[in-house]
A = this chain, B = another copy of it.
Amino acid sequence: MVGQRLVQLLDGHPQFRVTGLAASGASSGKRYREAAAWRIPGRAHGGLGEMPVRASDPGALADAPAGIAFSALPTAAARELEPAFAGAGWAVVSNASAYRKDPRVPLVVPEVNPDHLALTSRQETPGFLVTNPNCVAIPLALSLKPLHDAALVEEVLVSTYQAVSGAGFGGETAWDMIGTVHPHAGDEEEKVQEEPQKILGRVSEDGLENADIRISARCVRVPVRDGHLLAVSVRTRNPVSPEEARDLFASWRPQTGGRLPSAPEHPVQLRGDRDRPSPALDVDTAGGMGVTVGRVERCPVLGLKYYVLGHNTVRGAAGAALLNAELLCTEPWAGLRKVPRRGRTQALPSTT
């Protein structure tokens, strides 16, 4: 799912051109259209249907000069392959969770913590690895950032309403989702409880210092195709009224110096309607790259509460990786020894 969204976002990209596709065993050697049935709306296979799929190892891509390697690999494969690609000189931009906790690997949302890319200097491979957060942690971090900058977030309670696309094509069965909802059985809650502290943390010469925030997450799968809705309650060190919070959301600007090609001008959109954000109506805000905040109100327990919605496979996964790659092409990162020359090549290790 994430792989297909990524191929779609790269179709006609102003900076990047897909020079290779790679996948695990069974798909290797086939053409892309044979290896993977196209299962999302839009141009099938992003126009790359005839491109051959290679094996997911740097050796198989030896003829492609090292560039950016997007990874939408499953965790176990990522654990093994991503360092191999970094070792072969690739800038690995990964959506996988395998190395998100590694203190030398930046966990980046470009509008929030672009400076964390400096952590790559702690990696000892010729190439390097950059990751993006979990599909819930991204809209959560984007919405916490304005509050944290202004008033220091201390406690967060979040309940999610997560779309089925988050589990991939085969992740949930129809029987388990039609006309029902259910608690997420996996380790989603742990990710949501642990990733924002790193994203909102500080990177200095001494490395990374996590933000001191306690987070409790309840993750529930709901019968929605795309779009994760989060009900968030927040305690900040300095009290923030709903009006102040709305101002903070509305006036907040991305921390990236310039604008990335795929980034919306206002990644955090504020709505005033009582029954919004709505996955059906708001998921494609800013081409799926914006998150929508609404119902900013007083929380009787933690002080402030609001909803935030984001497209889980675009903003929360494929688009997040793409933004990270675009960030790598801006100053000062593009000047780093290890960063590939802008727009030259890339490959897409992906599962089908």
A155 within 8 A of B: yes
Stretch of A116-124, A179-187, A238-246, A324-332 on the interface side: A179-187
> CB within 8 A of A302: which of B157, B220, B280?
B157
Contact with B along A251-288 (1 / 0, CB 8 A): 00000000000000000000001111111111110000
Stretch of A94-102, A129-137, A160-168, A199-207 on the interface side: A160-168
Q: Output the nearest chain B residue to A165 by Cβ-Cβ distance.
A: B175
Flag if A1 contacts B175 (CB, 8 Å). yes
From known contacts A159-B218, A275-B185, infer whether A224 and B171 are also in contact, taking CB-CB under 8 Å: no
Flag if A183 contacts B225 (CB, 8 Å). no
Flag if A179 contacts B280 (CB, 8 Å). yes
- Residues on B with beta carbons closer than 8 Å to the beta carbon of A104: none
Give the A interface residue count (CB, 8 A). Answer: 65
Flag if A173 contacts B174 (CB, 8 Å). yes
From known contacts A39-B281, A161-B220, infer whether A175 and B169 are also in contact, taking CB-CB under 8 Å: yes
- Residues on B with beta carbons closer than 8 Å to the beta carbon of A167: 174
A40 within 8 A of B: yes
From known contacts A179-B179, A220-B229, A280-B179, infer whether A164 and B157 are also in contact, taking CB-CB under 8 Å: no
> CB within 8 A of A301: which of B215, B282, B300, B307?
B215
A216 within 8 A of B: yes
Shortest distance from the beta carbon of A237 to any chain B beta carbon, whole Å: 15
A5 within 8 A of B: no
Shortest distance from the beta carbon of A311 to any chain B beta carbon, whole Å: 12
22 contacts between A and B (CB under 8 A): A40-B281, A41-B281, A161-B181, A164-B178, A169-B175, A171-B175, A172-B175, A173-B174, A174-B174, A178-B179, A179-B223, A180-B227, A181-B222, A181-B278, A183-B274, A183-B277, A183-B294, A185-B275, A193-B300, A218-B307, A222-B222, A301-B302
Q: A170-B173, A174-B176, A179-B224 are in contact. List 19 more A-B contacts (CB 8 A).
A: A41-B280, A157-B233, A161-B161, A161-B222, A164-B178, A168-B175, A169-B175, A171-B173, A171-B175, A172-B173, A175-B225, A179-B179, A180-B280, A181-B279, A182-B276, A183-B274, A215-B300, A216-B305, A220-B231
Closest 10 CB pairs of A and B: A179-B179, A159-B159, A180-B280, A164-B174, A174-B177, A172-B174, A218-B231, A185-B275, A216-B301, A185-B274
